[in-house]
Amino acid sequence: MSMTATSQPLSQVPLPSHGHVRNPGTPFDLGEVNAVRVNRLASERRVSSLPGRRAVKGDAQTAWLLKAITCIDLTTLNGDDTEGRVRRLCAKAAQPVRPDILRATGMEKHRITVGAVCVYHRFVAAAVDALRGTGIPVAAVSTGFPSGLSPHAAKLMEIEASVKQGAKEIDIVITREHVLTGNWHALYDEMKDFRAACGDAHVKAILATGELKTLRNVKKASIVCMMAGADFIKTSTGKESVNATLPVSLTMARAIRRYHQMTGAKVGYKPAGGVSTAKDALTYLSLMKEELGRDWLEPNLFRIGASSLLADIERQLDHRLTGAYSAYNRHPIG
């Protein structure tokens, strides 16, 4: 198992890096897209062993869980969101772990925050204000999230409006019809337009993989979006009936590896929807390390879109110290 214990003292675990290097994109290459193959049975067999091989214990487990926190896009995307809820979420993002837990682990002198806060456009300005001085970026979902069926011009205006309000990251949703009909050039052109509208803000392409029918479609869509300049590829909106899964994540990770081999550019990965336990987070970190390497264990190349995950990780850290699981209400999120 490549997910092994660190030889460093816990207090010397490297701090997260939030710096991003943009993906410049490449010209559209239909030959590369048509060459995509995915062995579904082999993919399922590969990922089926991951949870059982999770052999991280003691201080190493604590370090990995703290690392997972730095890769969370702490998210609220509910119809009943309010500015007050968003501001409370931002406060939790800036101090995601109770101070007594950090003191007990020897990490109280290290600044641990989540990777970003993800909200609807309506709350971008409030989130930017609440996070001022923390260095935590605001990510805005856009382009007719979650269906992606708004007029194209309206999608571009929504991106530009969120960037103007201060969003540093934009999570766009692709038009699934382009994938399901094999109109790969249309997907490329759409993604290029989204990338241009983002300006200096980084763009995460949400594929809504649960609606793309096959792993081959998932891999093709991943390659096309990266060709068009996506800085991250992301599984889901969290609103589909099927969201992040390990076979899909393996497929997308291998698409990232292929694109890196083609261009030298490193593109990030974000599973979203259904990653809700500390055990899940460790499994995804293990997959990233084994398939893509150490660089993809930092928030500039790996994020987990989640709302309830942080509370479970904090409970696991508390359990490590006390030997008992605390109630969720002792680890409020927002």
Q: Which positions are annotated as active-site residues? A: 171, 234, 270
Q: Which residue shows structure tokens 């398939």?
A: 291
Name residues whose C-beta falls within 8 Å of residue 110's C-beta, 6 or more positions apart in sequence. 11, 13, 15, 102
Q: Which residue shows structure tokens 């999230």?
A: 145
Max Cα–Cα distance, the chain, nearest Å: 57
Find residue 305's DSSP bridge partners. Answer: 73, 272
Asked if residues 243 and 207 have their Cβ atoms less than 8 Å apart, the reply is no
Which pair of tokens denotes residue 306? 């989640």
Asked if residues 195 and 5 have their Cβ atoms less than 8 Å apart, the reply is no
Residue environment code for 60-98, b if the CB has 16+ CB neighbours within 10 A, otherwise e? bbbbbbbbbbbbbbbbbbeeebeeebbbbbbbbbbebbe
Alpha carbon distance 10, 22 (integer Å): 31
CA–CA distances in Å: residue 303 to residues 28, 35, 139, 237, 296 = 27, 28, 12, 14, 9
Complete DSSP assignment for 93-152: HHS-S-HHHHHHHT-TTS----SEEEE-GGGHHHHHHHTTTT-PPEEEE-SSTTTT-S-H
**C-alpha distance across the termini of the chain, in Å:** 36
SS3 75: strand
Find residue 178's DSSP bridge partners. Answer: none
